[in-house]
Amino acid sequence: MKICVIHSIFPPYARGGAEHVAQAFTRIWPEAEVFVISAMPFSGWASFAGKWEPLTPTPLPEGEGRVRVFRFTPFNLFTIFNIVKYPPLLRIMWHIIDMFNLHTYLVARKILLREKPDLIITRNLKGLGYTIPLAIRYTLPAYRTGRHATRYTTKWIHTLHDESLLHPRGFMEWGKEGALRNPNPLVRIYRAAARHLFGSPNAIVAPSRFILNEYNAAQFFPRSKKFVVPNPVMDIANNSSISPSPQPSPTRGEGVNRVPSPFMGEGQGEGVRFLYVGQLEPYKGIKLLLSAWQEFVREYSSATLEIVGQGSMRDEVDRVSRMFPSVHYRGFVPHDELTQVFMGATAVIFPTLAYESFGLVAIESFAAGVPVISSRIGALPEIIEDGRQGILITPGDKTELLRAMRILIKDGAALRRSAISRSADFSLASFQKRMYSVYKGLT
């Protein structure tokens, strides 16, 4: 059996947890030959033609085969890897080219016709090109004639990552729901084009009921079979060879004024360590977290807040960490080192303002026995049982966040035990079993 996984960014390149979930799709078929089609940063004209390379130079865990990856640079104004550097007008032009990228269509079609996979699994295609579905349909039995006609039967599973087919931004934000629920004419055109290009794959796999309902409401994939399969916790200890190279954390300058705590030395909160892991963006609730912490540390002077991640608010987080000794900013941490970061934390705080389609940081926290304080938004209530593996709060509510932090300090033992138990529902073995069931339902 031959399987093709298509995802815009694939390790060792990464922008977040999505790339590691994409990698999980290559690890659950140990008896199959697996290859990946993905984008790569521009490195000269040859990168438009692309190249094959092995995924790992070192052995994968026992029982798993090696994976080939075809990487190429889609022809566009710039790549998905540096899109944040460009102004909105250029991004709009980039999105238009990305949606109708002829270069991507021709490259993908050539590979699929040559490799003849039995199963094609697509995930996030933004930055690779929304013409990938056209290339897939061209290779399917119903569309093949002449020299391309064969007897093999290819199945296509598209897995939902976010709301990027509904809106170029890719997510809905608390208090700004109208952008997706009542889109403007340009977004309606974008959505109609995406709906037409993707059509109805054999199956749609969503990580949550929430995100599947969003696409159903927008009348996407009308003839596809639909399944909810939660994302897995990767065994990140085994992935050190494919994780991005570490980047140095910001250094603390000389002569920076720090705000002294009025309770310094009294020992309140000794051993308490809260943790944030994720993108440093306003829609992730970073401003709320920093504001709440400045109040919290007055009561618990010995507690610490550790922040891991990068983003547009990096300078603001670094500034606060220089002022408050209790805030430790670690910058980017490679995925294979996150286990050690989670271990021993009092709780992970995830005060997002975005309607998350899943919440990978929550299940990674559970696997380390760490409860989660999270916004009650999007798919997160499907993952976190309020009062069992963590506490859910109203998005943007500082009072509720502070209350949840106090509860976790005083009564977190039961939540930690429940978090470990809950993590079994998101194991790679459980994910494999569910995906096997999806595939068997198509054959």
Class of domain 242-246+264-426: alpha beta
Range with lowest mean pLDDT among 36-50, 140-154, 318-332, 342-356 = 140-154
Rounded Cα distance, 355 and 359, in Å: 10
Span 37-48, average pLDDT: 95
The one-character DSSP state at 313 is: T
Please compute the mean of the pLDDT values over residues 152-169 and round it to a whole number: 90
pLDDT at position 254 over 80: no
pLDDT band, very low/low/confident/very high, at 4 (cuts 50, 70, 90): very high
- 217 Cα distance to chain centroid: 23
DSSP string, 5-54: EE-SS-TTS-SSTHHHHHHHHHHS-TTSEEEEEEE----STHHHH-EEEE
Instruction: Identify how many contiguous H helices and E strands the chain contains and give both numbers.
Output: 16, 14
Q: What is the pLDDT of residue 235?
A: 57
Q: Is residue 333's pLDDT more than 70?
A: yes
Cα-Cα end-to-end distance for the chain: 13
Q: Is the pLDDT of residue 22 over 70?
A: yes
3-state secondary structure of 439: helix
Contacts (Cβ under 8 Å, ≥6 apart) of 400 = 393, 394
**Sequence ranges of the chain with CATH classification 3.40.50.2000:** 2-232+427-440, 242-246+264-426
Query: Is residue 273 scored above 50 in pLDDT?
Result: yes
**Cis before 351 (ω within 30):** no
Q: How far is CA 146 from the centre of its chain?
A: 41
- In CATH terms, the fold of domain 2-232+427-440 is Rossmann fold (3.40.50)
Q: What is the arithmetic mean of pLDDT over 174-189? A: 89
- pLDDT band at residue 383, thresholds of 50, 70 and 90? very high
Confidence of residue 412 (pLDDT cuts 50, 70, 90): confident
What SS3 state is found at 424?
helix
Task: Write down the pLDDT at residue 248.
Answer: 32
Res 14: pLDDT: 81
**Over residues 218-234, mean pLDDT:** 94
Rounded to 5°, angle at Cα 247 from 246 and 253:
140
| pLDDT given for residue 251 in this prediction | 35
* Whether the predicted pLDDT of 300 surpasses 60: yes
- Strand 273-277 and strand 225-228: the pairing is unpaired
Highest mean pLDDT among 50-64, 312-326, 371-385: 371-385
Measure the CA–CA gap between 181 and 223, rounded to whole angstroms. 23
Q: Are 134 and 105 in contact (CB under 8 A)?
A: yes
Mean pLDDT check: name the lowest of 184-198, 325-339, 423-437: 325-339
* pLDDT attached to residue 79: 93
Decide: 268 and 297 in contact? Cβ < 8 Å. no
Among 15-29, 136-150, 157-171, 288-302, which stretch is predicted with the lowest mean pLDDT?
Answer: 136-150
pLDDT over 60 at 236, yes or no: no
Give the chain's mean pLDDT.
86
Q: Alpha-carbon distance 138 to 148, whole Å? A: 10
**Distances, alpha carbon 401 to alpha carbons 257, 289, 352, 366, in Å:** 27, 8, 12, 19
The pLDDT assigned to 250 comes to: 36
What is 359-396 written as a DSSP string?
-HHHHHHHHTT--EEEES-TTHHHHS-BTTTEEEE-TT
Q: What is the pLDDT of residue 282?
A: 94
Place of tokens 């391309």: 148
- Residue 115: pLDDT band by 50, 70, 90 thresholds? very high
Q: Which residue has the tokens 């990140």?
A: 236
Cis-peptide into 12, omega within 30 deg: yes
Contact 365, 408 (CB under 8 A): no
* Residue 259 vs residue 279, higher pLDDT: 279
What does the pLDDT average to over 254-275?
51
Range scoring the smallest mean pLDDT among 174-183, 229-238, 308-317, 366-375: 229-238
